[in-house]
């Protein structure tokens, strides 16, 4: 039987921390579906299609990973795909409460999925999408944190920062990853 896992998230934008979790998951499972959602609790900098495109490019060289648009409930997306394992990355204790709540909720929704947590590498423990956006706003070097496509996309957002367009960067990702 094929072992499949789902790596869900909002990926706004994808970081090397995400790429590492996806890569390590792909070494354990036969097929990995990365599902990119809008998170209603966050105001996203990049539209969903753009985020999907950036994740696709970031993992293009991993043969057993596909990237899909997430719609509706995560547990339903997983069920339709015949997936019963959800993998989430954990950076620090601070992630735990949020992730614990989501895992318990997903279980309560149908008991069809198991959520497993993968510890991030220590070098990614500090890394988050919101931090990257904040650094990009200040034109800091983020090339060690995100793939080149994301560096370029964030720089382009920065280029349109004059006047009103600056609102593109007025977005707080909260505790996003
Ligand atoms: O990267 P994020 O923003 O922490 O990911 C959160 C995400 C997208 C995994 C979560 O919001 C989600 O599962 N959304 C799909 C809708 C759903 O099933 N909500 C209930 C989950 S507790």
Give pLDDT tens digits for 96-124.
999 999 999 999 998 789 999 999 999 99
Which pLDDT value is given to residue 72? Answer: 96
> How many angstroms does the Cα of residue 127 sit away from the middle of ligand 1?
19
- Banded pLDDT at 35 (limits 50, 70, 90): very high
Name the phi and psi angles at 134, rounded to 5: -60, -45
Ligand 1 site, CB within 6 A: 8-10, 37, 39, 42, 70, 73-74, 102, 105-106, 176-177
Domain at 4-124: CATH architecture: 3-Layer(aba) Sandwich (3.40)
Please state the atom number of ligand 1 nearest to the C-alpha of residue 101: 22
Ligand 1 centroid – CA 75 distance (Å): 10
Contact predicate 80/6, CB 8 Å:
no
Question: Ligand 1 atom closest to Cα of 103?
Answer: 22
Respond yes or no: is residue 42 known to be catalytic. Answer: yes
Residue 133 annotated among the catalytic residues of the structure: no
Distance CA 89, CA 61 (A): 21
pLDDT tens digits, one per residue of 52-72? 999 999 999 999 999 999 999
Confidence of residue 161 (pLDDT cuts 50, 70, 90): low
Establish whether 129 is a catalytic residue: yes
Residue ranges per domain, the chain? 4-124, 129-169
């Amino acid at each position: 039987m094929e072992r499949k896992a789902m790596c869900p998230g909002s990926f706004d934008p994808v970081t090397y921390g995400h790429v590492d979790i996806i890569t390590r998951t792909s070494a354990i499972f036969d097929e990995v579906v990365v599902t990119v959602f809008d998170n209603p609790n966050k105001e996203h900098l990049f539209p969903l299609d753009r985020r999907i495109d950036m994740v696709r490019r970031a993992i293009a060289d991993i043969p057993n990973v596909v990237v899909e648009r997430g719609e509706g409930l995560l547990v339903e997306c997983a069920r339709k795909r015949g997936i019963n394992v959800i993998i989430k990355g954990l950076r620090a204790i601070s992630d735990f409460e949020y992730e614990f709540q989501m895992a318990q909720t997903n279980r309560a929704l149908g008991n069809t999925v198991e959520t497993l947590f993968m510890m991030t590498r220590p070098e990614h423990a500090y890394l988050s999408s919101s931090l990257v956006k904040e650094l990009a706003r200040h034109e800091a070097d983020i090339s060690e944190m995100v793939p080149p496509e994301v560096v370029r996309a964030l720089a382009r957002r920065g280029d349109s920062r004059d006047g009103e367009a600056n609102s593109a960067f007025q977005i707080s990702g909260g505790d996003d990853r």
